[in-house]
Amino acid sequence: MAVSSAGSGGRRGSSMRLSLNDPTFRAIFWQIAVIGGFVLIVWWLISNTLHNLEVRAIATGWNFLSREAGFAIGESIIPFEPENTYSRALLVGILNTLRVSIIGIVLATILGTFVGIGRLSKNWLVSRICSVYVEFMRNLPLLVQLFFWWAMFQDAFPGPRQALQPVPGVFFSNRGIKIPIPAEHWVHGWMAAACIVGIVAGVFVRRWARARQATTGQQFPVFWASVGLALGLPFVVWLFGGAPVAMDWPALRGFNFQGGLTLTPEYAALLVGLVTYTGGFIAEIVRAGILAVPHGQTEAAAALGLRKGPMLQLVILPQALRVIIPPMTSQFLNLTKNSSLAVAIGYPDLVSIANTTLNQTGQAIEGIAVIMGAYLTVSLSISVFMNWYNKRIAFKER
Amino acid sequence: MANGHAAVMGGNAGRPTESKAVQWIRANLFSSWWNTALSLVLLYLLGKFLFWFVGWGVTNAIWYGAATECRAVKGIGACWAVFPEKWRFILFATYPYEDQWRPALSCLIFFFLYAYSALRRNWNTRLPAVWIGGLLAIAVLMWGGILGLAFVPQERWGGLVLTLILSTFGIALAFPLAILLALGRRSHMPAIKSLCVVYIELIRGVPLISLLFMASVMFPLFLPEGITIDKLLRAQIAIIGFAGAYLAEVVRGGLQALPKGQYEAADALGLSYWQATRMIILPQALRLVIPPMVNTFIGLFKDTSLVLIIGLLDILNAAKTAVSDPAWRGFGPDVYFGVSLIYFVFCFAMSKYSQRIEGELNKSKHR
Amino acid sequence: MSAVKAAQTTEAPMIELKKLNKWYGEFHVLKNIDFECRKGQKIVVCGPSGSGKSTMIRCINRLEEHQTGDLIVDGIELTNDIKNIEAIRREVGMVFQHFNLFPHLTVLENLTLAPIWVRKVPKKEAEETAMHFLKRVRIPEQANKYPGQLSGGQQQRVAIARSLCMKPKIMLFDEPTSALDPEMVKEVLDTMIELAREGMTMICVTHEMGFAKAVADKVVFMDKGEIVEANEPEPFFSNPQNERTKLFLSQILNH
């Protein structure tokens, strides 16, 4: 470098010299050094592992997946017997994780939205109660809360014979929660189909209404029409099916309940814990999102004569959702990851079953790879989607 | 207190003259018929709940005595008697009974370190020295083996001090890792950048439990034959790696929030990358992210409870073990309620502190 | 011209405020305000900050609620009745200090939003109107950009066009140039002067005394929630009656 300024053709010289003071060379040097060190460490770990596996005579590979699992699983959406394979057991685990996560996400979003709006209420009592709730949820470990709810089922709730009945037909006991459901009837499938048809029809109504408004200016209550279609069509189908009202009520037979829908203590404790905990975080996100829309926006929309409904739909929500959706998805991911605490209270989620699998087979690496692979697939695909979404919705600025 | 102001209002035509308290209640609880109805329902429910809660937690509770007395009031009153009976185990777990003053003193040192670092006038070059000294003292107290203290192996450690150790060492040692990762992620060197991105996203994409499992079952396979490290240290390593990834994103936020002019000014002065980073960039960026860093610490403090799943006796596991004693079985809700208060006091104090600091930092920024 | 003016004075006022009072908690912001504005009149409201001038014009389209007194806009009495509020907001346009454009919509979408959803105008027609007004504020080429991509002066001109698209009978301006860089003030004032020359009824809170001299029919000076003095611009500036007005004018004209 120092030489380069001396001669008339100095520039040429500097790019040829390999000096530690040349930024490009330096960058390459550092990268080679870091990657080299990294590769060395990984190689060392792998060679240790291979040696250890050999010494301890631990099998490797995925053959164990097709072997008989040999353990029973407390609850499952699909039929499972101990004679089934490990791969089916893991599938049961994944389904159980999804079952608690998806329902948890829906309920936590509803709860969090109410609490978040409640914190902004003009009613002092409402806003206080909501903030106390949020403070408690955010400052207590989820695991403590899970243990608390689980212990409530185990220790505080009575046996089935003395089960608590807060609402007629709903029973809380140390065997879990029992809820009445409509008795099985052929029309239910058709109602579900009608609901889907209604939603699709709602989409078409929306398109039609948009097109009509664009040409004639006439408006159409799309929202209520869609709700009407999605709920009304199943109702009509239900009427045509003879309007079956029979319910499957839980009833005490012997020492336990028969009939109705059962939530096991483990599932109920996990769901309640995840929903109340995540709800506290979602509440804060919703509140921040609402506060993030400047008051001037509401004023400008009002000054233009926009009503509450269109104002919310066209001005407030599109801006608030930009702030809300990214942290909200990360809360959804957190809830899914936190559902792995199921292992502590005995709900057979993916982590719990993979843990049993790796204990029985001794194949720790594969077991952990299954857990991490499953979670990473979900996390990474969602974060790729979020990056795309954030780019799409970012405000264009100078 | 508010009545004195009422007279001032008198002169305004057409304005009702009410005391401030009445005005406040009207505006905040009974501003419309809907709000009035809501307030009344909530007041009723709240009153009912408080009545039940005081009855359960105070008047009908058993504060001291044997488990049989608790059984007599089960469902009506809380069983706080389990705490006088089991508090030594919940706080110190299996640490040798006659040496339990050592973890107790360690806890006090931890509290001192937190309090010392919380004061802004102590944010100077002495701070790292105080921390190193404090942590060394804790190490000596907990292990012993010198100064006439009997050696206590890590397997015997447990209770509150274990929770404090895992979270404090976790964040303290994750800190340098986080800074390197954050700088690496903003580096222009593709190899280093992608290494950091992969690490951060990988760790943040999986649950902490899977890392703890990995630490407990896979770490032993990674090491050369003959070398073993105990479970506590393995969990600690997993927690450091976990916290490092999350903290790195916090630090990166601070680096991004710093105006570009600061980087340009440092370059213009002729400072090298490391000089600029050390003297100009990091001091400002880290100051910006103190509140989210405290929040990360709160999260980590709560997350250390997960070590019970791999069998370490932290305070939650000690409490769980305490209620598995046949004599006290069935008092889970009471015990977890008590333990959650300990967690709450810690986390609530920290989150209030972080909010205050955030306010102060914002104020000084606007000035 | 004079015949037109004579005709106007006989008409009922477009905006009428009678003994209007407003409090923020214990703070009396508006004290017995009596004010009227006739069709075609251009009124400039000035006064020190905190004098209640913004609050007064924000009461006119119910962004602020008054507590006692009457407020009549275009023959409609402003009460809590939502129908009345909506009717008044359709007829009264407002331009804000901080523009308040919707950042998630393009300039064109900002302009067509209210005509489509409030006036129920077909989209194509609304877009034609929007382009017409964008041409009048001289930025038709920015139609498909987002507000964040424009300069402050351009944003404020879009905001003026946005109000005009609703074809209002009255325009309210709440310190439209206070948030702008000095070099952008002129382009916005020029737009406003043009609008005034076309006969728009305007009430304008501003400190731009040049604008007041050029177009105002009346200048109103407010201080501490009261209307201290109101007069035609020429006597108002050359011969202020009240001490507070004198002090204010000396401060604002001599800086």
pLDDT confidence bin for A383, thresholds 50/70/90: confident
Could C67 and B9 be called an inter-chain contact, meaning their C-beta atoms sit closer than 8 Å?
Answer: no
Same domain, B49 and B87: no
Distance from CA of A198 to the nearest CA of B (A): 34
Distance from CA of A193 to the nearest CA of B (A): 36
Q: Is the pLDDT of residue A30 over 90?
A: no
User: Is B126 among the domain residues?
Assistant: no
The pLDDT value recorded for residue A116 is 92
**What digits encode the pLDDT tens for the residues C226-241?**
999 999 999 999 889 8
| Mean pLDDT, range C22-36, rounded to an integer | 88
Residue that wins the pLDDT comparison between B150 and C146? C146
Q: Which of A252-266, A279-293, C205-219 has the lowest mean pLDDT?
A: A252-266
Could B202 and A376 be called an inter-chain contact, meaning their C-beta atoms sit closer than 8 Å?
Answer: yes
Q: Which of A107-111, A274-278, C115-119, C226-230 has the lowest mean pLDDT?
A: C115-119
CA-CA-CA-CA torsion for B156, B159, B162, B166, nearest 10 degrees?
Answer: 140
Question: Considering its fold, how many domains does chain B have in total?
Answer: 2
Residue with tokens 């007069």: C231
What rounded mean pLDDT belongs to chain A?
Answer: 84
CA distance B350 to B352: 5
| Mean pLDDT, range A139-157, rounded to an integer | 87
Q: Do the bridges between strand C27-37 and strand C76-77 make them parallel or antiparallel, or are there none, so unpaired?
A: unpaired
User: Is B13 among the domain residues?
Assistant: yes
Same domain, B359 and B249: yes
Interface predicted TM-score (ipTM) of this complex, two decimals? 0.84
Q: Is the pLDDT of residue B19 over 80?
A: no
Amino acid, single-letter form, for residue A256: N
**What digits encode the pLDDT tens for the residues B58-87?**
777 777 777 777 777 777 777 787 777 778
Chain centroid to CA A263: how far? 19
The pLDDT value recorded for residue A398 is 59
Residues of B with CB below 8 A from A55's CB? Answer: 225
User: Backbone dihedral region of B194: left (phi > 0), alpha (psi from -120 to 50 degrees) or beta?
Assistant: alpha
Q: Residue C217, class by beta-carbon neighbours within 10 Å (0-12 exposed, 13-18 middle, 19+ buried)?
A: middle
* Among A222, A220, A218, A219, residue whose Cα is nearest residue A202: A222
Same domain, B43 and B158: no
Contact (Cβ atoms closer than 8 angstroms) between residue B167 and residue B317: no
Q: Structural domain of residue B30, as residue ranges?
A: 2-53
Q: Per-residue b/e over A186-225, b at no fewer than 16 CB within 10 Å? A: ebbeebeebbeebeeebeebeeebeeebeeebeeeebeeb
Distance from CA of B15 to the nearest CA of C (A): 9
**What digits encode the pLDDT tens for the residues C104-135?**
889 999 999 988 888 888 989 999 999 999 99
User: Is B91 among the domain residues?
Assistant: yes
The pLDDT value recorded for residue A152 is 84
- pTM of the entire structure? 0.83
The pLDDT value recorded for residue A18 is 59
The pLDDT value recorded for residue A397 is 66
From first CA to last CA, the distance across chain B in angstroms is 34
| Mean pLDDT, range A258-274, rounded to an integer | 87
Amino acid, single-letter form, for residue B153: P
Q: Is the pLDDT of residue B3 over 50?
A: no
Inter-chain CB pairs, A–B, below 8 Å: 165
Chains in contact with C via at least 3 Cβ–Cβ pairs below 8 Å: A, B
The pLDDT value recorded for residue A17 is 56
How many angstroms separate the Cα of B288 from the Cα of each of B254, B255, B279, B291? 6, 9, 15, 8
User: Is B130 among the domain residues?
Assistant: no
User: Is B29 among the domain residues?
Assistant: yes
Among candidates A38, A49, A125 on the partner chain, residue whose Cβ is nearest the Cβ of B43: A125
Contacts of A89 (CB under 8 A, 6+ apart): A69, A71, A73, A80, A353, A356, A357
**What digits encode the pLDDT tens for the residues C192-213?**
999 999 999 999 999 888 899 9
Structure tokens at A348: 């057979």
Residues of A with CB below 8 A from B42's CB? Answer: 125-126, 129
The pLDDT value recorded for residue C174 is 92
CA-CA-CA-CA torsion for B234, B235, B238, B242, nearest 10 degrees?
Answer: -160
CA distance A372 to A377: 8
Could C23 and B15 be called an inter-chain contact, meaning their C-beta atoms sit closer than 8 Å?
Answer: yes
* Among B103, B110, B150, residue whose Cα is nearest residue B130: B110
The pLDDT value recorded for residue C202 is 94
The CATH number that applies at residue B343 is: 1.10.3720.10
The pLDDT value recorded for residue A19 is 64
| Mean pLDDT, range C40-50, rounded to an integer | 91
Q: Where are the alpha helices (DSSP H) in C71-147?
A: 82-91, 107-117, 123-136
How many angstroms separate the Cα of A26 from the Cα of each of B188, B194, C65? 12, 18, 67
Could A371 and B320 be called an inter-chain contact, meaning their C-beta atoms sit closer than 8 Å?
Answer: no
Label each residue of C152-220 as H, E or C: HHHHHHHHHHHHHCCCCCEEEEECCCCCCCHHHHHHHHHHHHHHHHCCCEEEEECCCHHHHHHHCCEEE
Same domain, B90 and B36: no
Could A305 and C166 be called an inter-chain contact, meaning their C-beta atoms sit closer than 8 Å?
Answer: yes
User: Is B182 among the domain residues?
Assistant: yes
User: Is B282 among the domain residues?
Assistant: yes
* Among B46, B44, B83, residue whose Cα is nearest residue B61: B83
Same domain, B168 and B285: yes
DSSP B62-80: B-SS-HHHHHHTTTTS-BT
| Mean pLDDT, range A351-378, rounded to an integer | 88
- Provide φ and ψ at A397, rounded to 5°: -135, 170
Q: Is the pLDDT of residue B124 over 90?
A: no
Distance from CA of B260 to the nearest CA of C (A): 20
| Mean pLDDT, range B349-359, rounded to an integer | 85
pLDDT confidence bin for A63, thresholds 50/70/90: confident
| Element spanning A72, H or E | none
CA distance C228 to C219: 11
Nearest CA in chain C to B9: C26
Could A314 and C117 be called an inter-chain contact, meaning their C-beta atoms sit closer than 8 Å?
Answer: yes
Structure tokens at B228: 């073993």
- Which domains can be identified in chain A, with CATH numbers? 86-162+265-393 (1.10.3720.10)
pLDDT confidence bin for A105, thresholds 50/70/90: very high
Same domain, B19 and B87: no
Tally DSSP H helices, then E strands, for chain A. 14, 7
Q: Looking at chain A from residue 302 to 361, which residues have their Cβ under 8 Å from any Cβ of chain C?
A: 302-307, 310, 314-315, 318-319, 322
Instruction: Name, of A27-36, A276-285, B157-166, the range with top average pLDDT.
Output: A276-285
| Mean pLDDT, range C145-172, rounded to an integer | 92
The pLDDT value recorded for residue A378 is 87
Structure tokens at A215: 């040409």
CA distance B13 to B5: 16
Which of A125, A274, A345, A385 to mutate to probe the B interface, most B CBs <10 Å? A125
Could A35 and B191 be called an inter-chain contact, meaning their C-beta atoms sit closer than 8 Å?
Answer: yes
User: Is B272 among the domain residues?
Assistant: yes
Contacts of B347 (CB under 8 A, 6+ apart): A138, A139, A140, B298, B301, B302
Q: What letter would DSSP give residue B159? A: B
Instruction: Name, of A74-78, A87-91, A219-223, A308-312, the range with top average pLDDT.
Output: A87-91
The pLDDT value recorded for residue A7 is 41
**What digits encode the pLDDT tens for the residues B259-300?**
888 888 877 777 778 888 888 888 888 888 888 888 888 989
Same domain, B185 and B248: yes
Nearest 5°: the CA angle B192, A47, A376 is: 50
pLDDT confidence bin for C254, thresholds 50/70/90: low
Among candidates C89, C123, C145 on the partner chain, residue whose Cβ is nearest the Cβ of A305: C89
Residue with tokens 């709860």: A111
Same domain, B224 and B271: yes
CA distance A202 to A223: 8
CA distance A310 to A223: 11
CA distance A386 to A392: 10
Q: Looking at chain B from residue 62 to 101, which residues have their Cβ under 8 Å from any Cβ of chain A?
A: 75
Q: Is C125 on the interface with A (CB under 8 A)?
A: yes
pLDDT confidence bin for A5, thresholds 50/70/90: very low
Structure tokens at B328: 């006290």
**What digits encode the pLDDT tens for the residues B88-109?**
888 887 888 888 888 888 889 9
Same domain, B223 and B334: yes
The pLDDT value recorded for residue C81 is 79
